[in-house]
Amino acid sequence: MKPNHSYPFIAIEGNIGAGKSTLAALLSKDWNTRLILEEFEDNSFLPKFYKDAKRYAFPLEMSFLAARFNQLKKQLSEQDLFKENVISDYIITKCLLFAKVNLDEDEYELYQKLFGIIQLQLTKPDLLLYLHNPVEKLQMHIAKRGRAYELEISDDYLINLQQTYFDFLHTSKDLSIVLLDCSNIDFVNNPTHLQGIKNLLKQPFSLGLHTITLNDLP
């Protein structure tokens, strides 16, 4: 079963622990699409960042920018997008949002300039699905997956990231964005919830932000 052809490229975003990779994999398997998963576990700066954020923030964000750009540039091309549908568990703008939270002002200004050049070379998603979860649920997911370097992530850090994402979602006018409130959604263990998300992603959405709750799922 293929998703709506209006969305050959669907990207899934959300805070740390939102379930982006899990949902992307489930949808890609059911719809037989190409799957792009972020290769963040190979980043040697990540554990160092969580131990000393100020020291390692800039090299971390630069390494992520390079890795994400190279992966998306390789995986996405206009020609390939006409041949098969694609689901990704991130968008390149994620780089800028995390940099805004993690970098000092002067570092962020430099980063913005580099990002502005890079993002123009990449295909935008036809639909962006943002998974919103309360911080308590995010922390539960983070603890359950058990990555040692993530266990010290504070609620304040997650809240800061969440607000940065919200600012982006509410001001982006050139993307079709669905913000799905996942507070009471369990797409892993509840087939009805997963099917509701599948049905949602076949609906036509205009440019801008569309907020959906569990009761709104088709």
| Catalytic center residues | 89
- Position 171, amino acid: T
DSSP 83-147: HS-EEES--THHHHHHHHHHS-HHHHHHHHHHHHHHHTTSPPPSEEEEEE--HHHHHHHHHHHT-
9: which DSSP letter?
Answer: E
- Position 154, amino acid: S
- How many beta carbons lie within 10 A of that of residue 96, not counting itself? 21
CA atoms of 163 and 212, how far apart (whole Å): 18
- How many beta carbons lie within 10 A of that of residue 186, not counting itself? 12
CA atoms of 1 and 29, how far apart (whole Å): 10
Give the closest residue to 110 by CA, choosing from 124, 92, 96, 91. Answer: 96
Radius of gyration of the chain (CA): 17
CA atoms of 67 and 60, how far apart (whole Å): 11
